[in-house]
Structure 1
Amino acid sequence: MDKSLLLLVALGGVTRYYLQNFHWIGERVEVSTPINSFKRVQEGVYLYENGIDPYLGDVVHELPVILVLLVRIFNSISNFVPLLYVLIDLMTATLLYKMAQQFVRSKLTEQKFESSEYAVGTEELQVQATDMNVVPRCVILAYLFNPLSLLSCAGLTSTVFSNFLIALTLYFLVKRHLLPCIVCLALETMRNLYPIVLIAPVILVFTQRSKNTFTSSISILALFASACFAITGFNYALINSWSFLDATLGFIFFYRDLQPNIGLFWYFFTEMFEHFRTMFLITFQMNATVLYLVPLSLKLRKEPLLLATVLIALMSIFRSYPSVGDVSFYLALLPLWRRCWKFMAHNFVVFCFFVVTLSMMPALWQLWIYSGSANANFYFGTTLAFSTGQIFLVTDLLFAHVKRDFCLRNGLKVYVDGKEAKIILE
């Protein structure tokens, strides 16, 4: 990194540290959920220190390995815990920057071998040498100064740890380091369940050069399962109890806490008749995990990182306890697909969705909870619209990728009434 970028990183850190003085941020339901709440982590630390199993109740939902690590940190540098969250978030931004550099470098290498397949006059759609500087800068700035990531870090949410682990996974993915990639993914999967879908892009990347794709895929799946079992065993050894499984993965899957959030689960299951709950619970969880996995993996098999971006976005939209910190992470990955932006048709609509809904959420929460002049329908309407805007963004990105790929190979010229006409992209 050059000096200007280091100054921006420092500015991002200072901004995060300053915002942590506003303690009400961590109490907002858009920022804090039962899964990532700092108050619940503090409760877990207190229970563990006093010899009480923190997972016997329905408060703590963090893995024992993370909880024990936080106990050591709270005991040794309790005054610097907010600074720790800032440093981890800055490390996430740095990892994304390094990952973007490696990604652009690999795309430039690929283009050298595929350039003969590209149509004449499509240079503006191809990755350029200037992207080596522009794209990583856009990625790190999109994470450092996204208001959603700032709020997530200021609220001291454990989403900061999740983003760090996923950034590590993506970094090792583009660097083609299999074992650390699998370990990071397994750890995050055992924490939040939904990242299990990222095993698909991992398999696609590490089987590209394999002679026997099926055997290599099975080997990677076996390694991933072994890592998950090893992490589970290590967590059991820390507290000598299996209660953490139900308090983490079980709590996420069975959706026991109906606290409102920016997702789609809470209102639906509040109104749900109890005898229908199991069926719709399985349906919703399938929608958040396996439903889109196979078709997207088949379509994007040549673009594993785009597949990872889309899957991260989908699990951020459809997971049971989403927060704005989850959304901020995949938004920071969008500059990787800078060459697709010319084909994205709904930028203004998506921007309006984001600005309007995120502005209305606090107002409608105030009217519902404190003023009593509104009800849950008002707040759920904004969260539904927010999810709709995100879906528009994901589908727009996918269509833009398909259009770019078509134009790269077929050119930017079309024929109208038998006469040649050029597509105007801007």
Structure 2
Amino acid sequence: MKNKKLLALLVLGGTMRYILMSSKYSSAISGRVEISTPLNSHKRVQEGVHLYKNQIDPYLGDMVHETPLILISLAWAYSTIPQLVPWIYIMIDLAAAFILFKMSKEFIHQMFSKQSKEKGEYADETDELHLKYHDTIDIPKFVFIAYLLNPFSILNCVALSSTVFSNFFLASSFYFMAKQNLWPCIAFLSLETLRSLYPVVFIAPVLLVFGKSCKKDYARVAGSFILTCFAFCYISYSIMGSWTFINGTLGFVFFCRELQPNIGLFWYFFMEMFDHFRTLFLITFQINATILYLIPLTFKLHKDPLMLTTILISLTSIFRSYPCLGDIAFYLAFLPLWRRCWKFMAHNFVVFCFFLITLLIMPALWHLWMYAGSANANFYFGATLAFSTGQIFLVTDLLFAYVKREFCLKYGQKVFIDGKEAKIILE
């Protein structure tokens, strides 16, 4: 993509965000439960800034869940340049989009180089499944646009959601992973892990990228990640003067103490759960969101860390305790990377219908539940459950499409048994 076009798109994305922030709809957007959660709400960040300025520990109650490093940075911004705070969010979101562009460009060039080396092993008549040179130009552009102009990411930024910081940290970590620059990759991943817990699973693709030589490399990378996490924890302790922030951030995410409705699955189950079953199901849900899929997927996709990263981003966005549309926007931006797998994706229309219908009826059902009093939690949860189901369809469809493409590259798109063409079915 030419620099002028790139700049024009950045200006367009920034302008759209600023216009909506300045409109009368900004407060309504920031109040939507699909966008703002207890973990990323800007109102809670403002409360934390106020408490910090008055020398009160923001983490003593159960209101503030932002990390100390981000909290003091925003406290400084509100004290010195309060009128520019919205622009800080806009610039960070635009930076995330640009970093995703650079990351995808690096990964696609690596994939293209790998394909050139392996091309002699591919079956005949599989040319349409190969990456083309123009893909190295087009795919990064599609990734860039898929995040920058995605309505989910725009609304996320307009609400001044701190998920903007999460997307920036993860995009930076994956960019440095693509560049094979260990310490910046580990640093950004540690920052986001201490903020929302679930990115700890991304240590798997990091290990696959940086630990290729021997077992000592795996230990070095894992040890670096752990030490960096402890270092940031100690810095946070030095800032706050206590360790209460750990319970207010990671503890809040893990124990899911606040059951405000959102687009996830946790809130309804634990709202209806008897207290003596809570611990069992809490551990079950958190295992499902972290390590349940991590080990089998890592073994299956150990040759392709990028696909592993894409699937893990998607699963953690779906199954985390406090998901929002900003999380969804981030993993949707990775879909253009797998453009050559789209041919095998069979549920595009079903997924589109799931997304469209559920996102349209969520606000209506929320109004009927909270304001009209003619519905209840079951109605809204039904919509969020259908939305999550649509996302699961999307993730499994992408994974199956990837496996089918790899099979066809090796054995061809047509398989013959006893002289007759066989139908390939992946179960």
**TM tier relative to shorter chain:** over 0.9
Partner of 1:33: 37
1:83 Cα deviation after fit: 1.0
1:419 Cα deviation after fit: 4.3
1:24 Cα deviation after fit: 0.9
1:256 aligned partner, one-letter code: R
Partner of 1:140: 144
Which moved further from structure 2: 21-30 or 284-293?
21-30
2:320 aligned partner, one-letter code: R
1:1-52 deviations in Å (ceiling 9; x for gaps): 4312321121111001111132210000000000000000000000000111
1:116 Cα deviation after fit: 1.3
- CA separation in 1, counterparts of 2:420 and 2:315? 42
1:328 Cα deviation after fit: 0.4
1:109 aligned partner, one-letter code: S
1:370-412 deviations in Å (ceiling 9; x for gaps): 0001000000000000000000000000000000000001112
Matched, 1:263 2:264: yes
Partner of 2:199: 195
2:36 aligned partner, one-letter code: S
1:77 aligned partner, one-letter code: I
- CA separation in 2, counterparts of 1:260 and 1:420? 51
1:411 aligned partner, one-letter code: G
Percentage of matched positions with identical amino acids? 60
1:230-266 deviations in Å (ceiling 9; x for gaps): 0000000001100000000001101100100000000
Partner of 2:156: 152
User: For structure 2, which runs of at least 5 residues remain unmatched after alignment?
Assistant: none
1:172 Cα deviation after fit: 0.4
1:418 Cα deviation after fit: 2.5
1:142 aligned partner, one-letter code: A
Indicate the SS of the match to 1:60: coil
Cα pair 1:262 1:323 within 8 Å, conserved: yes
- CA separation in 2, counterparts of 1:47 and 1:147? 33
2:255 aligned partner, one-letter code: F
1:53-85 deviations in Å (ceiling 9; x for gaps): 111111100111111111111111100111111
- CA separation in 1, counterparts of 2:20 and 2:392? 30
1:69-109 deviations in Å (ceiling 9; x for gaps): 11111111100111111111000000000011111110111
- CA separation in 1, counterparts of 2:78 and 2:18? 18
1:414 Cα deviation after fit: 2.9
Cα pair 1:412 1:422 within 8 Å, conserved: no
- CA separation in 1, counterparts of 2:216 and 2:88? 42
1:21-420, aligned counterparts within 5 Å? 21=23, 22-208=26-212, 210=213, 212=214, 214-415=215-416, 418-419=419-420
- CA separation in 1, counterparts of 2:238 and 2:169? 22
Paired residues in the alignment total: 420
1:124 Cα deviation after fit: 1.1
Q: Structure 1: which 4+ aligned runs deviate by more than 2 Å?
A: 414-423
- CA separation in 1, counterparts of 2:161 and 2:400? 34
- CA separation in 2, counterparts of 1:122 and 1:206? 31
Give TM-score scaled by structure 1 length: 0.97
Indicate the SS of the match to 1:415: strand
- CA separation in 2, counterparts of 1:421 and 1:48? 67
Cα distance change, pair 18–150 in 1 and its aligned pair in 2 (3 A): same
Cα pair 1:33 1:323 within 8 Å, conserved: yes
**Structural RMSD (CA):** 1.2
Cα pair 1:29 1:261 within 8 Å, conserved: yes
- CA separation in 2, counterparts of 1:422 and 1:45? 61
1:415 Cα deviation after fit: 3.2
- CA separation in 2, counterparts of 1:33 and 1:390? 19
- CA separation in 1, counterparts of 2:246 and 2:422? 61
- CA separation in 1, counterparts of 2:146 and 2:224? 33
Indicate the SS of the match to 1:52: coil
2:264 aligned partner, one-letter code: G
Which moved further from structure 2: 6-15 or 263-272?
6-15
Indicate the SS of the match to 2:416: strand
Cα distance change, pair 245–421 in 1 and its aligned pair in 2 (3 A): closer
Indicate the SS of the match to 2:81: helix
Indicate the SS of the match to 1:291: helix
- CA separation in 2, counterparts of 1:325 and 1:219? 33
